[in-house]
Amino acid sequence: MRSYLFPEFQIFRDESACNQCRGCERQCAFGTHIYDPVADRMVTNEKLCSGCQRCAIFCPKNALVVRPTPPYYRPNEAWTREKIDDLKKQAETGGVLLSGCGSDKPLRIYWDNIVLNASQVTNPSIDPLREPMELRTFLGRKPDLLEIDDCGEISTELGPNITIEAPILFSAMSYGAISYQAFNSLAMAAREFGTLFNTGEGGLPRDMRAEFGRYATVQVASGRFGIDAEYLNCARAIEIKVGQGAKPGIGGHLPAEKVSSKVAATRMIPEGTDAISPAPHHDIYSIEDLSMLIYALKEATNYELPISVKVAAVHNIAAIASGIVRAGADIVAIDGMRGGTGAAPKAIRDNVGIPIELALSAVDRRLREEGVRSRCTIIAGGGIRCSSDVIKAIALGADAVYIGTAALIAMGCTLCQKCYTGKCNWGICTQDPRLAGRLDTRIASQRLVNLLTAWSHEIKEMLGGMGINAIESLRGNRDHLRGVGLYEWELDVLGVKGAGE
């Protein structure tokens, strides 16, 4: 069947600069560039281009420009180009539209409508270059009160807590979804910086357990892949994945093409089968059942690790979070609807869930009202793009944030959204050894550490400006936030005053 689709990208080649080195041909796993030996020139098939910019960045002559095609169709606000093209694609295949990365739709990004405070005259700001600033964060259950015995020792029984150097963790990305090199880079960066990476539900390769287990949050998801006593006990924390912001309410299929022998070994499933994660955990149909799994995992690790429960931000998230805390979770991780993914049905990615800012504020407020906020740590994820997003999240009630997409971009990702094809030219979201080998783990992990270091400096600057010297003092401190251009109900949910008030 002839496809009626237009190419998404145009490729301009400066023929006077191009010396037919065929670098672009080697770089592109989609087969966009082909050398024509008869004409001795490069020819391009734009229809295959994902727009990942790999060829343009690596062209030694800077001869390539790749940019989105202008809309070909008659302008139409209702039937946009994307709607028309998606429809054609489905008419041609009869399939569910897949996409990678987080939603790119213009839903309001509340971070951009919230501004921060700074000290002027009445209280001094602090210069973080000259004065100590505390970003260290503790993850886990905190006691309601601390009792000290006669010898000056703490007599209250304390739950396990984890120390991280800044309130930023790498969110769950499984080995299988991303390459071993990308996975390893996250682990190396977590170790160097002093934070945690998250295995997702793809298991933790045995050769990494001794070295990186102490920097890992290991996931237990509905597929229960790669789980045994050693996997659970080598880690620093365990996360029960109930939902994910990019695809709340549905499971996942890692296609057989991505289940290489090493991925199969890590997940402990036969090579070449689809790794299917069911939509729900079939042993969790209620808060009581969730509690049962939380305590099963505490039992399986001798009560030495904090247990996190990750859910997607959806309607009634505050009540859900309250249930999770009461079920015994030490950490509640909430993933907003702009959270990334290796593959999700586009209809779900773009339409299901709620933005993290609203969810986070609602959860923090509800847990405070119910007097259970200190029983858990809140981690917010799904659309954290920069240090100011982090600091706003903390002021809205998060203890720490998860970054996924930001970490991938630091390693080279350009958000071309073709993760599900397994042909990532940047070596991140692929199991093809030739492509994955492009990602140098030393360089990638250095880029990740640089990112965390830069954000930490910026967070300290902003904290100092507010006259605060410890991140702990900003937690849930909405007085330092004001809304701009928001409706009354939005300000209410955020618990934030309008600017000028």
- The residues that touch another protein, with contacts defined as CB under 8 A, are 89-90, 92-98, 222-224, 227-229, 232-233, 253, 255-256, 264-265, 268-270, 272-274, 276, 278, 282-283, 292, 295-296, 299-300, 302, 420-421
Q: How far is the CB of 392 from another protein (least distance, A)?
A: 36
Q: Which is nearer to another protein, 252 or 381 (CB)?
A: 252
Q: Which is nearer to another protein, 108 or 253 (CB)?
A: 253
Q: How far is the CB of 451 from another protein (least distance, A)?
A: 32
Q: What does the alpha-carbon distance between residue 457 and residue 472 come to, in Å, rounded to a whole number? A: 16
Q: Which is nearer to another protein, 345 or 483 (CB)?
A: 345
Q: Which is nearer to another protein, 81 or 224 (CB)?
A: 224
Q: What does the alpha-carbon distance between residue 232 and residue 305 come to, in Å, rounded to a whole number? A: 9
Q: Got the DSSP string for 381-417?
A: ESS--SHHHHHHHHHTT-SEEEESHHHHHHHT----S
Q: What does the alpha-carbon distance between residue 492 and residue 395 come to, in Å, rounded to a whole number? A: 15
Q: How far is the CB of 302 from another protein (least distance, A)?
A: 6
Q: How far is the CB of 340 from another protein (least distance, A)?
A: 18
Q: Which is nearer to another protein, 3 or 163 (CB)?
A: 3
Q: How far is the CB of 256 from another protein (least distance, A)?
A: 6
| Range list of β-strands (E), 205-337 | 216-220, 237-241, 252-254, 275-277, 307-312, 331-335
Q: Got the DSSP string for 2-68?
A: ---PPPSEEEEE-TTT-----HHHHH-TT--EEEETTTTEEEE-GGG-----HHHHH-TT--EEEEE
Alpha-carbon dihedral angle through residues 194, 199, 204, 209, given to the nearest 10 degrees: 10
**Residue 278 burial (CB count, 10 A):** 13
Tallying the residues shown for the chain, one arrives at 501
Q: Which is nearer to another protein, 14 or 92 (CB)?
A: 92
**Residue 500 burial (CB count, 10 A):** 6
| Range list of β-strands (E), 185-274 | 197-198, 216-220, 237-241, 252-254
Amino acid identity, residue 447? R
Q: How far is the CB of 268 from another protein (least distance, A)?
A: 4
Q: What does the alpha-carbon distance between residue 406 and residue 455 come to, in Å, rounded to a whole number? A: 11
Q: Which is nearer to another protein, 232 or 415 (CB)?
A: 232
Q: How far is the CB of 326 from another protein (least distance, A)?
A: 17
Q: Which is nearer to another protein, 159 or 467 (CB)?
A: 159
Q: Which is nearer to another protein, 289 or 472 (CB)?
A: 289
Q: Are strands 377-381 and 331-335 parallel, antiparallel or unpaired?
A: parallel
Q: What does the alpha-carbon distance between residue 391 and residue 393 come to, in Å, rounded to a whole number? A: 5
Q: How far is the CB of 55 from another protein (least distance, A)?
A: 21
C-alpha triplet 97, 103, 108: angle, nearest 5°: 140
Q: Which is nearer to another protein, 269 or 468 (CB)?
A: 269
Q: What does the alpha-carbon distance between residue 333 and residue 311 come to, in Å, rounded to a whole number? A: 6
Q: What does the alpha-carbon distance between residue 97 and residue 198 come to, in Å, rounded to a whole number? A: 28
Q: How far is the CB of 362 from another protein (least distance, A)?
A: 32
Sheet architecture: strand order including 400-403: 168-170, 400-403, 377-381, 331-335, 307-312, 237-241, 216-220, 197-198
Q: Which is nearer to another protein, 293 or 466 (CB)?
A: 293
What distances in angstroms separate CA 107 from CA 34, 110, 343, one per listed residue?
39, 9, 20
Q: How far is the CB of 72 from another protein (least distance, A)?
A: 20
Q: Which is nearer to another protein, 255 or 437 (CB)?
A: 255
* Phi and psi angles of residue 4, each rounded to the nearest 5 degrees, phi first: -95, 15
Specify the residue for token string 């921060």.
116
Q: What does the alpha-carbon distance between residue 342 and residue 427 come to, in Å, rounded to a whole number? A: 13
Q: How far is the CB of 273 from another protein (least distance, A)?
A: 5
Q: How far is the CB of 254 from another protein (least distance, A)?
A: 11
